[in-house]
Amino acid sequence: MRVTSPGIGSPDESGSLSYEGRDVPVAASDTVASAMVAAGELGNRRTDAGDLRGVWCGMGVCHECAVTVDHQEGVLACVTPARAGQIIQTQSARRRVPTSAPAPRPESELTPDVLVIGAGPAGLAAARDLAAAGLDVLVVDERKKLGGQYYKQPDPALPIDEDRLDRQYTAGRGLIDAARRAGARMLLGASVWAAFEADRLLARSDTERWIIRPRRVVLATGAYERGVPIPGWTLPGVMTTGAGQTLLRSYQVAPGARVLVAGNGPLNIQLAAELAKAGVDVVGLVEAASFLSPARIGAGMRMAWNAPGLTRDGVGYLSALAAHRVPVLTGSVVASLEGDPQRGVERATIARLDGHRLPTGRRRSFDVDAVCLGYGFLPSNDLARSLGCRHEYDPERGALHTLTDGTGRTSVSTVWAIGDSGGVRGAKFAQVQGALAAAAIIADLADRPAVIDATTTRAARRHLSFQAGVNALFAAPLLTDQLAEPSTVVCRCEGVTHADLVDSMTEGVTSPGAVKRVTRAGMGKCQGRYCGPVLVEMEARLHGVPVSERSGFAPQAPVKPVPLGDVAAP
């Protein structure tokens, strides 16, 4: 379903692609995924059981949207530009083994002063200030567009009225322009897949390979959404809130015509409001926290004191939901999803949470054709862990966070971890921390004490305080496998069910790594990013072992899937 947002016009059509013999209209702004979702074609890859899977993360992490494009297998629909005449086929469960080796690609060595990995708010802010100080700064991002997940921009092929864009778009455009004007080099569409030492990292794109030997490293790799397995969460049309927002804000495509948004946190409210204002039938917003309770008014006041603009935005989103008569169900979760594995999700059942994080009471159901689930974020800290940076487990967030000083400097003296990659504290703090990191690195390379502007320090404190208010307002039980049934798939890549995991966790199988070897959970292309945290919590609960920085799957190269030729190349 195509929609329009304020300041963004309708895209021009450029013909059609063929999906399984059916014509799918293509706009000049589309990815393969956005074109297919707009046309109601929700299936991408096929599992061993023959079920279809669709877009899940929308950011190239989960690999659920893999399709065959012009006979090339394993192409990610969510990041691949669509063009008229493409032949798209459902990706089969078993890919064919290539009969010939790929052509060798050139490898070169890069020696920047500072390598910034990630081009979101934190990475761009750091790159801007570092380059402005005259340093040779290289920014690497696996996406082909700057801005990251928070500052994602409308595709350039969309008609844009700059004066009518919202503040999130315009702030992102300003930061992107500032980083470019400062002279930072941008290497887009490239992924850093190995970090053996702080001065020896490997990166690749579809056409080149690089060995990068920087003097300093800034990890600004952001975060990805937490997966909470529930019955039916693998149905086509069920996706993360971030994926739904990317479809809307970058491509002007709605996830469906009747959409339910559910989970925990303010991003769900924003997406539900923006979809409703774009003309989508948002059948409900389901929030695990009781954030409308009078007992939480103090948290709201703290937010308003520290970031009045952001707080006004939140109130505006709630007002939009009220104006469009969208039901808001608090203290509740989606308990199950039903539908046809060949067509997609059709019904969502809602229940309240009891004190044991279990659904209880009378159920309520909604007819839907899309569901967006968002239960918060997990730091993308694979590279930081690979480099040996120290981490601590945060039981309230259910995630490891990187131990740093106020500027983001880690226990490895030449490495900084900033923004959500070090610990999820919001995009505005991430951007300020980018400036703090840049000041510290400039001083470090000049062998002098850092001089940090007092205004920047105050802004960092305000944004941290604001985020503490957000966390208090949306405080809710941390969910992992509580909503899963024995037949619920937990490892989406390998199809491992909750019952498979419980059966494997016997005496002698006392770690997620051991469970991985027994069940294959975590061996898929997402590399355990969605099932791994669930396994960690299950093992800790069953065996009474506290979670620590050594829990979970061990970080190792490649931290992202890469062709074998890149790993084995001389």
In this predicted model, what pLDDT tens digit does every residue of 319-355 receive, in sequence order?
Answer: 999 999 999 999 999 999 999 999 999 999 999 998 8
Residue 234 and residue 364 in one domain: yes
Residue 297 and residue 369 in one domain: yes
Residue 307 and residue 201 in one domain: no
Residue 156 and residue 240 in one domain: no
Q: What is the mean pLDDT of the chain?
A: 94
Residue closest to 57 by CA, chosen among 188, 317, 234, 272: 234
Tell me whether residue 477 is in a domain. no
Residue 233 and residue 196 in one domain: no
Tell me whether residue 322 is in a domain. yes
Residue 400 and residue 383 in one domain: yes
Separation CA 274–CA 119 (nearest Å): 24
Tell me whether residue 467 is in a domain. no
- pLDDT value, residue 404: 97
CATH number of the domain bearing residue 80: 3.10.20.440
pLDDT band per the 50, 70, 90 thresholds, residue 451 = confident
CATH number of the domain bearing residue 290: 3.50.50.60
Residue 357 and residue 394 in one domain: no
Separation CA 522–CA 56 (nearest Å): 17
Identify residue 211 by its one-letter amino acid code.
Answer: I
pLDDT band per the 50, 70, 90 thresholds, residue 462 = very high
Residue 158 and residue 251 in one domain: no
CATH number of the domain bearing residue 533: 1.10.10
Domain tally for the chain? 4
Tell me whether residue 475 is in a domain. no
- pLDDT value, residue 226: 95
Name the domain boundary from 90, 116, 131. 90
Name the domain boundary from 40, 64, 90. 90
For residue 500, what are the domain limits? 484-569
Residue 370 and residue 234 in one domain: yes
Separation CA 140–CA 203 (nearest Å): 9
Residue 280 and residue 357 in one domain: yes
Separation CA 18–CA 237 (nearest Å): 20
Tell me whether residue 52 is in a domain. yes
Angle between helices 308-323 and 266-277 (to 10 degrees): 50
Q: For 157-216, write each residue's pLDDT tens digit.
A: 999 999 999 999 999 999 999 999 999 999 999 999 999 999 999 999 989 999 999 999
Tell me whether residue 397 is in a domain. yes
Percent of the chain with pLDDT over 70: 98
- pLDDT value, residue 570: 62
Tell me whether residue 479 is in a domain. no
Let me know the angle formed at the C-alpha of 78 by 74 and 80, rounded to the nearest 5 degrees.
70
Residue 65 and residue 128 in one domain: no
Q: For 383-393, write each residue's pLDDT tens digit.
A: 999 999 999 99
pLDDT band per the 50, 70, 90 thresholds, residue 567 = confident
* C-alpha distances in Å from residue 236, one per residue of 22, 41, 423: 18, 9, 31
Q: Give the other-Cβ count within 10 Å of 159's Cβ.
A: 13
Separation CA 98–CA 230 (nearest Å): 36
Residue 238 and residue 269 in one domain: yes
Tell me whether residue 434 is in a domain. yes
- pLDDT value, residue 102: 67
- pLDDT value, residue 449: 85
- Give the burial class of 119: count Cβ atoms within 10 A of its Cβ; 0-12 exposed, 13-18 middle, 19 or more buried: buried
